[in-house]
């Protein structure tokens, strides 16, 4: 039982480059979310999805896109990387709002 799998674990990008952070879950959870974690800021919601084909913005969506074509996958796309996007990114999933999130192990992204 893999849970929530994020790839890559580490990534260095140059300013202006684009990339996709991958997230996959094998628990058949309907709800999935992306958070970023910065020192002194806590976890902040970027985008979320309540089911395949349904996505919405969170607190800090600018510069990021998401799509949810399947229940299992929820990739996060950085359109044009900026140093302000240097952070640790966590993907999470849960069966519904009454349940706790299961988090992935994170992707540490550095934009230079």
Partner 1 sequence: EDQVTQSPEALRLQEGESSSLNCSYTVSGLRGLFWYRQDPGKGPEFLFTLYSAGEEKEKERLKATLTKKESFLHITAPKPEDSATYLCAVQVGSGGGADGLTFGKGTHLIIQP
CA distances to 14, 50, 66, 93 from 97, in Å: 37, 9, 20, 10
Which part of the chain contacts partner 1 (CB under 8 A), choosing from 16-24, 36-44, 66-74, 76-84?
36-44
Q: How far apart are CA 45 and CA 49, in angstroms?
A: 11
Write b or e for each residue in 75-95: b if 16 or more Cβ atoms lie within 10 A of its Cβ, otherwise e. bbebeebeeebbbebbbbbbe
Determine if 59 is a binding residue for partner 1 (CB under 8 A): yes
Say whether residue 109 binds partner 1 (CB under 8 A): no
Token representation of residue 56: 């919405």
User: Residue 17 interacts with partner 1 (CB under 8 A)?
Assistant: no
User: Which one, 33 or 85, has the nearer CB to partner 1?
Assistant: 33
Write down the least CB distance from residue 17 to partner 1, Å: 25
The reply on whether position 92 binds partner 1 by CB under 8 A is yes
**Contacts with partner 1, residue ranges (CB under 8 A):** 4, 31, 33, 35, 40-45, 48-50, 56-59, 90, 92, 97-106
């Amino acid at each position: 039982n893999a849970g929530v799998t994020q790839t890559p674990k580490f990534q260095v990008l140059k300013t202006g480059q684009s990339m996709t952070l991958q997230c996959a879950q094998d628990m058949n959870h309907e709800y999935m979310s992306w958070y970023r974690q910065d020192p002194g800021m806590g976890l902040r919601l970027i985008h979320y999805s309540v089911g395949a084909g349904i996505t919405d913005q969170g607190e800090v969506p600018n510069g990021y896109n998401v799509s949810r074509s399947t229940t299992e996958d929820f990739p996060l796309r950085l359109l044009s990387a900026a140093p302000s996007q240097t952070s640790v990114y966590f993907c999470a999933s849960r069966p519904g709002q009454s349940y706790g999130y299961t988090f992935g192990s994170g992707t540490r992204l550095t934009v230079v």
